[in-house]
Amino acid sequence: MTSRPGRGSGTWYDERLHTHFTKKGYAQRFEVVRTLVAKQTPFQELVIFQTRHFGRVLALDGIIQTTEADEFVYHEMMTHLPMFAHGRVRDLLIIGAGDGGILREALRHKSVRRAVMVEIDGEVIAECARHMPALNGGAFKNQRAQVIVGDGIDYVRKARDASFDAILVDSTDPIGPGEVLFTDDFYRNCRRILRKGGLIVTQNGVPFFQPEEVVTTKRRLGRIFRHMTFYYLVVPTYIGGMMTLAFATDAPGLDRVPRAVLERRFRAARLKTRYYTPGIHVGAFELPPFIADLAGKGSRR
Ligand code: SAM
């Protein structure tokens, strides 16, 4: 946090992702109206602060994770797109996602009978429930939810074969505790615990600043699953434009479910959404050449 004279509190939060980590010399900053919590957990630096325009914001290790104002974009696209592509997810595994937004959106699908969320840092869950309760919206207490504090890689190594229909990996970037979630070992175990027709979606950064994540994820997931691609979304506070989510499965055609089928499933689910629609779903797989080329690079073994 830096203090600068001027209007308002004069305290600013400078994100460190594209300065300290990707070293691109570019950063976003937020004027801090009030700091709600700032501490070091056993895994990372955790800060939640109030802003003028984005509501409350969660940052971990200097990297913006989610804001109350734009979280709907990411949480809807990481949840509804794979779940409507699959069509009937009953058992869902969520890795990371300690703020609760993915669990909230997933439990809106009546087909879900069990949603297991495995988050490594219990303090993220506790502090988000305390200071950003709308993110989980009561999902942590839902009977269909099982919230586990633990390392995602340990969980998938121990889980039974073919026990989930979908896996959503809402992790931090491949730095620190999140690094293991971008490994062959993790992806292989995810494939092993997915049922026939199952799929996995993983957080995959912003290609304009993190092109290597597209190349390596394509290479790794492409080696383990028969069908692997990306789809994109635009989250105002994940700076750099389009963000990609990786989409992998052994089932053919899940990345191009006909729009009419998606419309029917969406109508039947009666979900009110602010970003996701069947049209956005279909269009999200249309990657611009600069991202498709990166994915192409990852395809060359
Ligand atoms: N949507 C955000 C993004 O795209 O950057 C991520 C939000 S979510 C808060 C990320 C969560 O992943 C954090 O709470 C972090 O503690 C958790 N996490 C990191 N490594 C993990 C691991 N190995 N197992 C389980 N959770 C992990």
For the record, the structure tokens of 82 come out as 């794979």
**pLDDT band, residue 300 (cuts 50/70/90):** low
CB of residue 151 inside a 6 A radius of ligand 1? yes
pLDDT at 297: 78
Q: Which burial class, exposed, middle or buried, applies to 106 when counting CB atoms under 10 A from its CB (0-12, 13-18, 19+)?
A: buried
Distance 17 CA to ligand 1 centre (A): 15
CA–CA gap between residue 89 and residue 84 (Å, rounded): 9
**pLDDT band, residue 105 (cuts 50/70/90):** very high
pLDDT at 8: 55
In the three-class reduction of DSSP (H, G, I as helix; E, B as strand; rest coil), residue 151 is classed as coil
Q: What is the mean pLDDT of residues 210-227?
A: 95
Q: What is the mean pLDDT of residues 91-113?
A: 98
Has residue 301 got a pLDDT over 60? no
Average pLDDT, the chain: 95
Q: What is the pTM of this model?
A: 0.96
CA–CA gap between residue 33 and residue 56 (Å, rounded): 10
CA–CA gap between residue 172 and residue 90 (Å, rounded): 26
> pLDDT (tens digit, 9 = 90+) per residue, 143-175?
999 999 999 999 999 999 999 999 999 999 988
CB of residue 70 inside a 6 A radius of ligand 1? no
CB of residue 284 inside a 6 A radius of ligand 1? no
Measuring CA to CA, which residue among 242, 179, 177, 169 is closest to residue 205?
Answer: 242
Q: Ligand 1 pocket test: which of 72, 78, 155, 172 has the largest number of ligand atoms within 8 Å of its C-beta?
A: 172
CB of residue 152 inside a 6 A radius of ligand 1? yes
**pLDDT band, residue 224 (cuts 50/70/90):** very high
Which amino acid residue places its CA nearest to atom 18 of ligand 1?
A: 96
> pLDDT (tens digit, 9 = 90+) per residue, 252-264?
999 999 999 999 9
CA–CA gap between residue 230 and residue 218 (Å, rounded): 9
CA–CA gap between residue 97 and residue 136 (Å, rounded): 10
pLDDT at 2: 56
pLDDT at 282: 98
Distance 146 CA to ligand 1 centre (A): 17
Q: Ligand 1 pocket test: which of 28, 71, 119, 213 has the largest number of ligand atoms within 8 Å of its C-beta?
A: 119
User: How are the residues of the chain apportioned to helix, strand and coil, as percentages rounded to the nearest 5?
Assistant: 40, 25, 35
Measuring CA to CA, which residue among 16, 14, 8 is closest to residue 52?
Answer: 8
Has residue 59 got a pLDDT over 80? yes
Which amino acid residue places its CA nearest to atom 14 of ligand 1?
A: 98
Measuring CA to CA, which residue among 48, 53, 9, 15 is closest to residue 32?
Answer: 9
Has residue 227 got a pLDDT over 80? yes
Has residue 4 got a pLDDT over 50? no
Q: In what order do the strands lie in the sheet with 227-234?
A: 145-149, 114-119, 91-96, 164-170, 194-203, 242-249, 227-234
Distance 119 CA to ligand 1 centre (A): 7
DSSP 40-103: E-SSSEEEEEE-SSS-EEEEETTEEEEETTTHHHHHHHHHHHHHHHHS---EEEEEE-TTSHHH
High-pLDDT (> 70) share of the chain, %: 96
Residues 95 and 169: beta-carbon distance below 8 Å: yes
CA–CA gap between residue 172 and residue 45 (Å, rounded): 12
Q: What are phi and psi of 117, to 5 degrees?
A: -115, 125
CB of residue 203 inside a 6 A radius of ligand 1? yes
CA–CA gap between residue 72 and residue 16 (Å, rounded): 23
**pLDDT band, residue 6 (cuts 50/70/90):** very low
Q: Ligand 1 pocket test: which of 56, 120, 171, 202 has the largest number of ligand atoms within 8 Å of its C-beta?
A: 171
N-term to C-term CA, the chain:
43
Q: What is the mean pLDDT of residues 4-21?
A: 76
> pLDDT (tens digit, 9 = 90+) per residue, 135-145?
999 999 999 99
CB of residue 136 inside a 6 A radius of ligand 1? no
CB of residue 95 inside a 6 A radius of ligand 1? yes
